[in-house]
Structure 1
Amino acid sequence: MYTTIHVPKIAVQRLRSFCIRRSVRRCNSNGRGREVFASTDHQLSFSRSRIGEFFQTAPRLENQYTSDHPLQSYMKRVVPTEVLEAVFMDLNQFGDQVAGEINDLGRQVELEPPQLEQYDAWGKRVDRLKTSPAWKKLRDIAAKEGLVEIAFSRLYGPWSRVYQVIKLYLFAPSSGLYSCPLAMTDGAAKVIESSGNMMVFHRAYGHLTSRDPTEFWTSGQWMTERKGGSDVGLGTETVAVHQPDGRYRLYGYKWFSSASDADMSLTLARITDADGRVAEGSQGLSLFYLETRGKHGDLNSIQIQRLKNKLGTRQLPTAELLLDGTLAHKLSDDGRGVATISDMLNITRLHNSLNAVGGMRRMINLAQNYCIHREVFGKKLVHHPLHIQTLARLEIECRGALYLVLELSRLLGLEETNEANEEDQLLLRLLMPVTKLYTAKQAMLVASEGLESFGGQGYIEDTGLPGMLRDAQVLPIWEGTTNVLSLDVLRVLHKTQGKAVRVYVADIKRRLSLAEGNADLQSACRAVSIAANVLMEFTVNSANSELAVLEMAARDYSFSLARIYIGALLIEHAAWVESLSTDVYTAQRWCKKQLNVVTERFASGFYNSESQILERDILFN
């Protein structure tokens, strides 16, 4: 179709003269001309000059399981053959569904964020939370696919948790953040299962682990109050008043409540005594179970004050909630709330990590597909060595993080089926915070660098790419910031008296031994072995150091734990008899990076008392 415009006569004459000359030049150079003006009325066609003839090709998603060769090779190497054969068809089908229907629903959710209607037309408070129809469809898919149920059915023993994590890893980047309520649902089911109160809460557990969309429940996790942060012992002001029927009524303000549309929630509160007094600190906190709505669908004495206006995760309904006499059941023993939620934190931190790796994989997949079609400076991006080098670095980072998350899920599966020995349990306790903090930070790096690989298109909201960067930013914040988790690593060292690190080093040595005799991996093995030995020496020497010095080193120490362990995992995979040359190259490249940053910075005086003073002066003087 052509659009016509009318211009003054003199302008037409000048344009006609110019365009004829241009048309002649085109004929001379191209062998063909184009009629510029209509026959008599001097109308000028601008359609092609207005929009041009070239359009960029949008990146295309393929089957998210079969196209993930690092994942498939890991499964073939580690997962028992009978389990692998049993789950292959499901993962293959789900990979197609993720790239198609689920990805479309996730995009629709992003374009249709939740809304809050607090009052009806007559002034009555209703607090209706309106979510996209796609959000509800994703809920149904999550139930049917068993994205929570798989882990608790234990159909494949300890491998059930690995199977679930793989499906969630495929699902998360397409899910429009529905992976978040699934994380809290998984965590709630784990807490109930571990609480010893299954007889009391079997109804809720059955809903949380159902594959029937009409029966499936999601759970919230309402821990954060107005003081905010991870220090729930100081920050929790909600009180619980005991009722004659054995239940409690909760009164408090939950400042950051993700998945506010959940069917139930777990929350912390302080039980009042006969005089209305409460115990302060973490020891005064108990864990409570509540259902968000009553039999008639009305809210359980809960008011939705407002939806949060967030940088990212806008698809997810996150709200400020007032609990004004909310009926609840005590789930933990008195004062044991924080200890009881430790199982939930392990689950949600694992979910955070698999979301991080899933996001990395999605960004790299899109960038890889885009570079095949996008032409710059006379050739496709795929033929520019610098561009390929950049994407390859991201790919190596993603593979290392993926194997770390899969190993963590394997250890968790062993623990959940009572097959974990003491060493497995110590490794799980140490690696859980390490994996969460490391993968979250690397997801930000990959999201930012990956976005840049699309040039200006990466900055355009219509492409859906900017949302990936915004959503990645929450990963280092949710379930404990990088610094909070680094201090948790120090607590593991203290509580185990350093045994956790000794087990960690022994496990690394065992994995490296699998590469003995492999000439291509000897340099990488030496690098990891030396880094592990030096880190162990640093740990022993720091055991009697001042706490402030250890706190300063905690972040770098945690990153060193992650990088060294990933190096061992990559070497183990590269030493496999069916490994590819790219697996060997990945291990080699990884082990040439700075593995043990903490000891190198310690030797440079980063953590001494003088540094503490100077760093404070830099900020405040």
Structure 2
Amino acid sequence: MRIETGFQPIPFSEGNAYVEDPVLPSLLKRPLPSSVLQEIQPDLVRLGSEVVTTLRELSGSKKVHPPTLLQYDQWGRRIDKLETSEGWRELKATSQREGLPAIFYERKYGAHSRTYGFAKVTIMVGDTNEIFCPMSMTDGTARVIELTGSPSMKRDIYPRLISRDPAYAFTSGQWMTERPGGSDVSLTETTATNSNKSNEYGPQYTLDGVKWFSSATDSEVSVALARTGTLKQGSRGLSLFLVPLRLPLVRNSSDPIPSPTSNNILVHRLKNKIGTQILPTAELTLESTEAYLIGELGLGIKNISPVLNITRLWSATASIGNLRKCLAIAKSYAKVRAIQSGTVLLKDAPIHVEQLASVNLVYRALTHFTFGVIGLLGKVECGTATQNEQRRLRMLTPVAKAYCAEKACAAMEEAMAAMGGAGYMEENGFGRSIRDALVEKIWEGTIVVLALDLTRSATDPAYTDAFIYWAKSIIASCPDNLHQKLSSEINILNDAITEISAAYTKPLKTIVPRPALMLVGAIASNVYLLEHAIWSYTTTESTKELDVEVFRRWILEGGLEAAIQSVQRAKVDVESRINTSSALVFGPDAKSKL
């Protein structure tokens, strides 16, 4: 039999990425004023169409391939010529033209500008080959310069970081990770020496050291931590610097491009990663590299924190955005794939629909959670947040990043499996999305690192009180008839809130932070779903019954009760559990020394 004869599978056709999204159109109606939504919605509809046509075609084309590094020329001279693909450069230019990150700083819609911009990120991210890694760091660097940059940085660098013109725009990296510590920057080896030279951008220093992971190595600038104090001072001896990747930093477009080594930055190798393969991530050496102090000496961690907080929300959005794409593909496939001798479509097979519904539920919960935190960021940046909202943003930023990465990766695999063997094919995009999304479990902090970061704020009663007050106020706003309908589910939610109140009481048990973070994520995602269900119910939206059912299912099926039990186990007979865990991993004679 020839391949052209016999049964012919029907290719699926994916619809508009925004219009057919199960969450965004409804979600945006709640926090956005109707005038804002009416103005931005045509742009989101346009983008939703371009994502599944133009952008997807570019993202999967031969134009997109991993970068290359040529360290030496034929005469043995060190040149460190980094070549990124044409597709990578086009994706970067597309992002800038779409207003990312410009939308956030134009602030046309005030605090809602963050919601608008991140809606575009959610729609695009699954088809952009992780271009939002450098765009997120560019966003963070723009915020750092806006807050603490020198007047000349604000004049020359800031406008380029937020520009919509790819010919004028800069992108930025963020260099923290070094060999001794990974996410622990207290052992940073890179040193900064005052050059005693005047520079229009601020106090000029020379940096010497090794940066072990430098994403966006093709950027024009980077922010970097370097030691201005002693090693004994740990992270308190670090300061923040703006580093030009080439000198001169600002030049006319007609001027020749300076050598890649013009600022004494040497690229030793490109990282061979599981995913994000077209993103140039490198190992760098700084050898008397010119850099400019940002803010005050010794406040490097504080000054770089806007980069960390902003990139963590980009990371959470990347998790939900890749899940969005995988779910959309699996749903589209279910509409054309027939089973039972071709008599029943998958969309009409209850057991199959149940699997897709579980993935859909995860996507809804994570998206409402993420956009809830994004809304807080917008308020804080525009100076309209209350003190309690500021505290909630501090608590929930690391939680959103960790919780979304953990939940989304598993759900993406379920969406892939829902297509059977067809889902395992590279052409449909599942493979790249899953590989790229896996980095979100690591980049900008693993779950354990983020759990410890959460602990630093949550052990302050003012922060947990702010979180609990918000959760209880949403529950209290539930109309009586709806509260009665959801009484058993709300009781479970209240049990979780009680548990988290006790979890962060000092002295904290050693192994509580990780399960406690997951419990905070479970509580927050449920509360945001409840908030939406209440809004939908009281405004008599056409989806009100479905929105209420989403909350109910997430309470019962999203792992909230299991999260409560995990925290409770982590507080009981801790020493015995720690020793048993060591024996499980390293053998029966192993015991923890902590």
TM-score by length of 1: 0.86
Q: Aligned residue pairs: how many?
A: 563
What is residue 218 of structure 2 aligned with on the other side?
A: 261
Structure showing greater radius of gyration is: 1
Q: Deviations over 1:197-231 (max 9, x none)?
A: 34444311111011111111110011111224210
Q: Which of 511, 517, 521 is the equivalent residue of 1:552? A: 511
How many Å separate the matches in 2 of 1:57 and 1:407? Answer: 39
Q: Verify: 1:159 aligned to 2:116, yes or no.
A: no
Q: Verify: 1:582 aligned to 2:582, yes or no.
A: no
Q: Deviations over 1:569-601 (max 9, x none)?
A: 212222222151322221121121341445424
What is residue 583 of structure 2 aligned with on the other side?
A: 617
Check 1:404–1:538 CA distance in 2 against 1; reply closer, same or farther (3 A cut): closer
SS of residue in 2 equivalent to 1:146:
coil
Q: Verify: 1:370 aligned to 2:333, yes or no.
A: yes
SS of residue in 1 equivalent to 2:9:
coil
CA contact (8 A) 1:116 1:130 kept: yes
What is residue 324 of structure 2 aligned with on the other side?
A: 361
What is residue 194 of structure 2 aligned with on the other side?
A: 242
Q: Which amino acid aligns with 1:230?
A: S
Q: Deviations over 1:136-164 (max 9, x none)?
A: 11122112111101101111111111111
Cα displacement (A) at 1:463 = 3.2
SS of residue in 2 equivalent to 1:160:
helix
Q: How does 1:202-241 map to 2 (within 5 A)?
A: 202-234=155-187, 236-241=188-193
Cα displacement (A) at 1:376 = 2.8
Q: Verify: 1:171 aligned to 2:124, yes or no.
A: yes
Check 1:54–1:155 CA distance in 2 against 1; reply closer, same or farther (3 A cut): same
Check 1:605–1:203 CA distance in 2 against 1; reply closer, same or farther (3 A cut): closer
Q: Verify: 1:321 aligned to 2:321, yes or no.
A: no
SS of residue in 2 equivalent to 1:412:
helix
Cα RMSD between the aligned structures?
2.1
Q: Which of 361, 368, 371 is the equivalent residue of 1:406? A: 371
Q: Verify: 1:473 aligned to 2:425, yes or no.
A: no
CA contact (8 A) 1:265 1:290 kept: yes
Q: Verify: 1:536 aligned to 2:498, yes or no.
A: yes
CA contact (8 A) 1:110 1:314 kept: no
Q: Deviations over 1:332-353 (max 9, x none)?
A: 3111111111111110000000
Cα displacement (A) at 1:553 = 1.7
Cα displacement (A) at 1:530 = 4.2
What is residue 128 of structure 1 aligned with on the other side?
A: 81
How many Å separate the matches in 2 of 1:196 and 1:348? Answer: 19
CA contact (8 A) 1:535 1:596 kept: no
Q: Which amino acid aligns with 1:532?
A: N
CA contact (8 A) 1:271 1:278 kept: no
- Percentage of pairs with the same residue: 35
What is residue 92 of structure 2 aligned with on the other side?
A: 139
Q: Which amino acid aligns with 1:558?
A: L
How many Å separate the matches in 2 of 1:303 and 1:316? Answer: 18
How many Å separate the matches in 2 of 1:525 and 1:293? Answer: 62
Q: Which has the higher contact order (CA 8 A, sep 6+)?
A: 2
What is residue 464 of structure 2 aligned with on the other side?
A: 501
CA contact (8 A) 2:58 2:64 kept: no
Q: Which amino acid aligns with 1:342?
A: S
CA contact (8 A) 1:289 1:328 kept: yes
Q: Verify: 1:284 aligned to 2:237, yes or no.
A: yes
Check 1:605–1:619 CA distance in 2 against 1; reply closer, same or farther (3 A cut): same
SS of residue in 1 equivalent to 2:335:
helix
How many Å separate the matches in 1 of 2:503 and 2:27? Answer: 37
Q: Verify: 1:100 aligned to 2:53, yes or no.
A: yes
How many Å separate the matches in 2 of 1:138 and 1:97? Answer: 13
Cα displacement (A) at 1:512 = 2.2
What is residue 489 of structure 2 aligned with on the other side?
A: 527
SS of residue in 1 equivalent to 2:193:
strand
Gap runs ≥5 in structure 1 = 1-47
How many Å separate the matches in 1 of 2:41 and 2:369? Answer: 22
How many Å separate the matches in 2 of 1:260 and 1:116? Answer: 11
Cα displacement (A) at 1:54 = 3.4
What is residue 7 of structure 2 aligned with on the other side?
A: 54
Q: Which of 252, 263, 266 is the equivalent residue of 2:209? A: 252
Q: Which of 342, 348, 356 is the equivalent residue of 2:305? A: 342
Q: How does 1:58-69 map to 2 (within 5 A)?
A: 58-69=11-22
CA contact (8 A) 1:359 1:472 kept: yes
How many Å separate the matches in 2 of 1:525 and 1:512? Answer: 11
Gap runs ≥5 in structure 2 = 199-203, 249-256, 589-594
CA contact (8 A) 1:105 1:176 kept: no
How many Å separate the matches in 2 of 1:185 and 1:541? Answer: 36
Cα displacement (A) at 1:459 = 2.2
